[in-house]
Amino acid sequence: MDFTAHRRVKKTIISDSLNDLYPHDLTMYAEPPGNVISLSEFEDIALERLQLFRILEQAALKGHKLYSDDWKACIKEDLTKAGLKKYSRQLSGACTNSDLDYQARRADHISHFILRLAYCRSEDLRRWFLSRELEWFRLRFIAQSRDSIKNFLQNNNFLYTPISEDEKSSLREELTSSTAGLSIFETTEFYKIPFTEVCSLVRNRKVFLKQGLAYIPASELVVCVLSRFRASLSEGLNVGIQSPLATI
């Protein structure tokens, strides 16, 4: 990523390639940014993401249970108070393709890598950064609509597809009795996932298993995606340790 020392007048970035670079509010951060960025913007977006992470951390310290409605409401309120519109926008779940959406995704993408480099220097820093990134990813994921989640899975080559209605009906008794928190069976989509990707659900006996596959409701897809995200980010942090910039 290149950056320049002079301050530039802020402009709305409009490009036909933005949809290719930032097609969704969610990203696995698989590729580092290749943007040219001024030092002033570099500093601004890094500090904004750090402020976001402090808000996530403080929400739990206020006594709110992680991912509860009160926790989410507290974060949204604090983001609004702090003027972090780019981040509060990503919690709407709309996942539209306006210029403001592209700007928010761009800032999120670049700032992630800035802080990844800064926080890869020690085990304590890596642990704190990883925890905040997992919270931020999951918070956005659970805000998405069903169609938005399907688009994200397709964009990132997650080979998860819902089971057919016939198979769902044939397994009604098994799915109903083994799926924790199931409310309305008829409107719930189920996915077949290798059981190794949902070890936490298997360990807690909250999922139906058949022939090495776990049948999970769409609401539990976040467990699979978050597991891959954690593994990818952990590897990226370890690679970052080898960077000479990490010692600056």
Condensed to tens digits (0 to 9), the pLDDT of residues 145-172 reads 989 998 999 999 998 888 999 999 999 9
| Residues 6+ positions from 94 with CB-CB distance below 8 Å | none
User: Does the structural domain 2-145 have CATH classification 3.10.180.10?
Assistant: no
> pLDDT at position 137, please?
97
| Three-state SS at 26 | coil
| Residues 6+ positions from 72 with CB-CB distance below 8 Å | 91, 139
Condensed to tens digits (0 to 9), the pLDDT of residues 43-96 reads 999 999 999 999 999 998 998 888 999 999 999 999 999 999 999 999 988 888
- Position 141: which residue type? F
- Least confident among 172-176, 198-202, 210-214: 198-202
Residue whose C-alpha is closest to residue 219's, from 194, 184, 167: 184
Condensed to tens digits (0 to 9), the pLDDT of residues 100-137 reads 999 999 999 999 999 999 999 899 999 999 999 999 99
Give the residue extent of every domain in the chain: 2-145, 158-223
